[in-house]
Structure 1
Amino acid sequence: MKSSIPSFCCRCSSGLRSTATRSRRYASTSAPPPSASPKSRWLGLAVVSAAAAGAGAYIRSQSPSSGTLNQETFTKYSLVSREPVSATSSLFTLRPRYHSDGNYEVYEDAWRIGVWSVMFKQPQLQIGRDYTPLPTTAATSLSVDEENEGYLRFFIRKDPFGEVSRYLHSLEVGADIEMRGPQIECVIPEETQEILFIAGGTGIAPALQAGYSLLNRTTKENRPRIHILWASRLKADCVGGESDTAKALVPSRSWFSGWLGSSQSSASNPPAVAAVSQSQNSSLVVRELEALKSQYPGQITVDYYLDEENRFIGKNDLSKFIKSTDPTEDPQKRKLILVSGPEGFISYMAGPKVWAQGQELQGPLQGMIKELDLKDWAVWKL
């Protein structure tokens, strides 16, 4: 059964074009069955929930104040700071140019639903790109007043071929940035109890969002879990990160080399990220992950993989979570695999998304994940 979530226009009256690679509409990763399966019905309900919640957020966003983030027009934000994370990535902190009390509800609705993004505009070329806000955690440097003022933070890599990312990295503090949203990228249904999130590079930002949204549902009776596998090319992005589970086997090549059709030997395997000295300063994203782990002990695990050290995500790393299903567990407690990162990473892990009739769809499940016995796991490509 094909299903979709709210699709927001990628063009405005000024002719803005989108260079974003994130999905606008989604389809099931399997072919449509003659009758809806329980998994299909589950995803369908998620879509309906997203549509209703998205409509509610839109209505509330139509405040007389021009500072309220909304899906139809671009709202001006100011660049408060740009903090380098590595040689190629930075943490951007923005606040609305004009104060609006409406932003609180707009943000909260989006956080509650699942994974969401906003579109940044590059005004000279009239193109846009979607970026994922980072959630507020114990490691966040934002004050209560800054949160109330509607501050948002973004982990953005400077792509040498990316017009929008290069534009953002060229801006001075205090510059205006226009953005539109929120756009719901993936609904996390209420009955979800476990997420396996496979992240490549800046795909860790949606992973943080998914963890924040899922774990905020924790009660005495409900303790959902999320397992994050984060693959990075640069050590600076994940310095200080220590893997939580047993050392994984090293596959014969990385997703990057596999996508390009070349191979990379893993005969020599330097110490993994877990061996990084704790005396070193942890990267910003690692601090965010550790803050979530401290807030929700026993409910989140993180494993780090680093191209620089020939440590890559392999099939055994995925199967150890998928095969850990408790036979006594309630079958109504759903399990979800999310994949986020560069196009090549997503294709290598789960197969490429496809375009049909002007929409970007999930496409058939392929790649490494298809080789696993998924049982009751659903798969979603971000």
Structure 2
Amino acid sequence: MNISLAARCAGRVRSGLLSGSRAACLRPYALPIQYQHQISSRTTRILLPKTQAFSVLSARQNNAPQNPPPGPTQGQEQEQGQPEGQPPPFPGRRQQYKTWILFNLAGLSAVIMFALVLKGAPSDQNAVINTSSFSPFTITSKEQVSPTAFVISVRAGDSPEKGKPGSTKPFKDAWAYGLWSVEAKQPQLQIARHYTPLPPSSSDNNSNDEAELRFLIRKMDGGEMSTYLSKLGVGEQVYLRGPHPSFDIEKRLGFAENAVFLAGGTGVAPALQVAKRLLEIPIPEQEKPRVSILWANRRGADALGRRQASGVGGKVQGWITSLRGDAAEAKEKRDVKEQERSDEASLARQIREMQEQHPEHFRIAYFVDEEGSFINAESLHAALSPPPSSSPSPSPSTTPIPVRQPTPLLPPASTCPWHSPMLLTKLPDANDSSRRDINCTCARAAPKSYTAAHPGAKPGANLVFVSGPDGFVGAYAGPKRWYKGGEMQGSLDGVLKGVLEERDKKGGEGQRENWMVLKL
């Protein structure tokens, strides 16, 4: 036999003795690779000497003591369930299985514990409304307050978790903040519009229901969202997202005492929000800020509460009634029937309540396009001017409330985020809640000459809000500026710019008024 061929075959088979007179033969036997090298080397050494018979060598090997390669014995193989003649399992595989199982059990336990902690921790996941997705609200009532406007009331549904009512904490925080809105979705067109909730009225039965919201909506020709909402009935659902905070009224007002609103149409809703927030501050009545609303509508029937306001003899609203003229008064009388129906509306009653509760600090004037009365420079000067030291009493049984002297205001610092008109024009949005941790810098930057002349001066700014359609805002305060997909306040323009510049010239070096215009 060829030696090289025999050596190669010896690496794949092992020798064994057979019964009888036959010589030793080769029986095929598959061995693990780790043992093949040892058998192949040993067989090669055996086959090299040619002077000895192969059978003799095989007999010597069988008689010699066996030195098997290290590994488990036959008894161990049978005990471990390994068949005889098969290679041993991979060392450490059982230990790897144990490690893998323990690792997965530890990970599963950590996930369960984390889920339990999140479920028990206070969060807004169980809230009735959130800022990331639209939540369903059910329409509970719908009231037609004028030929073109209606008030819709919606109530939040329960939490998706069964048996757990949804949290109304977002609404509590929003009402405490002051000025905010929500988005309503039109599901067919997939569009959304911002709407400002009306403040709850003390005379409403559901005024303490924190999960209910009221909206003043005017149906506009071609308005996709208002048309959609006007077709919904009681019991149907509307989807809302929010709340979205706007300007921080208290921080921007500071120690100033005047908040004036120029409202066009449904823009009266944020004006009533601001009035509720400022007039319900738990301080003495004479120390509360004054809220003045100039409300413009196209039709007299939309001027809710006007007839009752005029009926008090001009004592509450005399600061502006004389500016409307006799023609407007005559036109108003011709619309008595519509006005009587409007006076029964919930919003009209709410406005009258605010006038009765805060006669010295809440005043409202009405302007109607079809009657020829408009908000002009003269009416703006009347609204921005301080009232007399003591206003007359709306009724003989009511004692007049003396109006305290205004607090002198510091000049607004150019670096102050709350009182600087220059920085206001550069704001990327109207959300002041993200800037609440920034402090006012007016006191640190005030000139010593001014603080010496006015030792009691404090930081603050009187506020003028302009809310309504874009054309209305642009006419009185200048248009907003679009920048990187968002609306910026933009520079001041329009009728208010000329009025405020004129007041600054008249004031001279005297006490500052610090008027700031906010566009909604």
User: Do they fold alike, i.e. is TM over 0.5?
Assistant: yes
Equivalent AA in structure 2 for residue 237 of structure 1: D
Shift of 1:169: 0.8
Are 2:132 and 1:72 aligned?
A: yes
Are 2:231 and 1:170 aligned?
A: yes
What is the DSSP-based 3-state SS (H/G/I as helix, E as strand, rest coil) of the residue aligned with 1:189? helix
Are 2:468 and 1:341 aligned?
A: yes
What is the DSSP-based 3-state SS (H/G/I as helix, E as strand, rest coil) of the residue aligned with 2:287? coil
Match of 2:250 in 1: 189
Are 2:488 and 1:364 aligned?
A: no
Deviates more, 1:233-242 or 1:211-220: 233-242
Between the aligned partners of 1:323 and 1:94, the Cα distance in structure 2 is: 39
Contact 1:61–1:68 (Cα < 8 Å) also in 2: no
Shift of 1:185: 2.5
Shift of 1:101: 5.7
The alpha-carbon distance between structure 1 residues 60 and 86, as it changes in their structure 2 partners (threshold 3 A), is farther
Residue 233 of structure 1, aligned match among 289, 298, 311: 298
Contact 2:144–2:150 (Cα < 8 Å) also in 1: yes
Shift of 1:269: 4.5
Shift of 1:170: 1.0
Q: Deviations over 1:31-54 (max 9, x none)?
A: xxxxxxxxxxxxxxxxxxxxxxxx
Contact 1:61–1:103 (Cα < 8 Å) also in 2: no
Contact 2:305–2:351 (Cα < 8 Å) also in 1: no
What is the DSSP-based 3-state SS (H/G/I as helix, E as strand, rest coil) of the residue aligned with 1:107? helix
Contact 1:115–1:185 (Cα < 8 Å) also in 2: yes
Q: Deviations over 1:91-122 (max 9, x none)?
A: 10100122576643211211222211100011
Contact 2:128–2:166 (Cα < 8 Å) also in 1: yes
Q: Deviations over 1:7-32 (max 9, x none)?
A: xxxxxxxxxxxxxxxxxxxxxxxxxx
Residue 351 of structure 2, aligned match among 246, 265, 289: 289
Deviates more, 1:90-99 or 1:318-327: 318-327
Are 2:95 and 1:95 aligned?
A: no
1:176-215 alignment, distance < 5 Å: 176-190=237-251, 191=254, 192-215=256-279
Structure with the higher helix share, 1 or 2: 2
Contact 2:263–2:467 (Cα < 8 Å) also in 1: yes
Shift of 1:268: 5.4
1:1-382 alignment, distance < 5 Å: 62-63=124-125, 65=126, 68-98=128-158, 103-142=167-206, 144=208, 147-148=209-210, 150-190=211-251, 191=254, 192-220=256-284, 222-241=287-306, 242=309, 244-246=317-319, 247-249=321-323, 269-271=328-330, 280-281=340-341, 282=343, 283-324=345-386, 329-331=407-409, 332=458, 333-373=460-500, 375-382=513-520
Equivalent AA in structure 2 for residue 245 of structure 1: G
Contact 1:271–1:309 (Cα < 8 Å) also in 2: no
Between the aligned partners of 2:518 and 2:243, the Cα distance in structure 1 is: 19
Equivalent AA in structure 2 for residue 98 of structure 1: D
Shift of 1:86: 1.4
Deviates more, 1:281-290 or 1:197-206: 281-290
What is the DSSP-based 3-state SS (H/G/I as helix, E as strand, rest coil) of the residue aligned with 1:371? helix
Equivalent AA in structure 2 for residue 125 of structure 1: L
Between the aligned partners of 2:334 and 2:378, the Cα distance in structure 1 is: 21
Unaligned runs of 5+ residues in structure 2 are: 1-120, 311-316, 388-403, 410-457, 504-512
Look at both structures and tell me which one has the larger radius of gyration over its CA atoms: 2
Identity of aligned residues (%): 35
Structure with the higher strand share, 1 or 2: 1
Q: TM-score of the superposition, structure 1-length normalised?
A: 0.72
Q: Deviations over 1:228-268 (max 9, x none)?
A: 11011122222541251333536xxxxxxxxxxxxxxx995
Between the aligned partners of 1:113 and 1:321, the Cα distance in structure 2 is: 25
Match of 2:421 in 1: none
Please provide the CA RMSD for this pair.
Answer: 2.8
Between the aligned partners of 1:140 and 1:340, the Cα distance in structure 2 is: 26
Between the aligned partners of 1:223 and 1:207, the Cα distance in structure 2 is: 16
What is the DSSP-based 3-state SS (H/G/I as helix, E as strand, rest coil) of the residue aligned with 1:372? helix
May I ask how many residue pairs the two structures share in their alignment?
A: 304
Contact 1:78–1:95 (Cα < 8 Å) also in 2: yes
Contact 2:278–2:288 (Cα < 8 Å) also in 1: no
Shift of 1:184: 1.3
Contact 1:218–1:224 (Cα < 8 Å) also in 2: no
Between the aligned partners of 1:93 and 1:153, the Cα distance in structure 2 is: 4
Between the aligned partners of 2:203 and 2:334, the Cα distance in structure 1 is: 22
Shift of 1:273: 5.1
Equivalent AA in structure 2 for residue 159 of structure 1: M
Between the aligned partners of 1:61 and 1:169, the Cα distance in structure 2 is: 35
Between the aligned partners of 1:182 and 1:356, the Cα distance in structure 2 is: 23
Deviates more, 1:352-361 or 1:214-223: 214-223
Between the aligned partners of 1:194 and 1:94, the Cα distance in structure 2 is: 33
What is the DSSP-based 3-state SS (H/G/I as helix, E as strand, rest coil) of the residue aligned with 2:246? strand
Q: Deviations over 1:44-66 (max 9, x none)?
A: xxxxxxxxxxxxxxx97623x3x
The alpha-carbon distance between structure 1 residues 353 and 90, as it changes in their structure 2 partners (threshold 3 A), is same
Between the aligned partners of 2:382 and 2:334, the Cα distance in structure 1 is: 22
Equivalent AA in structure 1 for residue 318 of structure 2: T
Contact 1:231–1:305 (Cα < 8 Å) also in 2: yes
Equivalent AA in structure 2 for residue 69 of structure 1: I
Between the aligned partners of 2:169 and 2:203, the Cα distance in structure 1 is: 23
What is the DSSP-based 3-state SS (H/G/I as helix, E as strand, rest coil) of the residue aligned with 1:209? helix
Unaligned runs of 5+ residues in structure 1 are: 1-58, 251-265
What is the DSSP-based 3-state SS (H/G/I as helix, E as strand, rest coil) of the residue aligned with 2:276? helix
The alpha-carbon distance between structure 1 residues 274 and 299, as it changes in their structure 2 partners (threshold 3 A), is farther
Between the aligned partners of 1:60 and 1:208, the Cα distance in structure 2 is: 32
**Relative CO higher for 1 or 2, CA cutoff 8 Å, sep ≥ 6?**
1
Contact 1:199–1:229 (Cα < 8 Å) also in 2: yes
Between the aligned partners of 2:322 and 2:326, the Cα distance in structure 1 is: 15
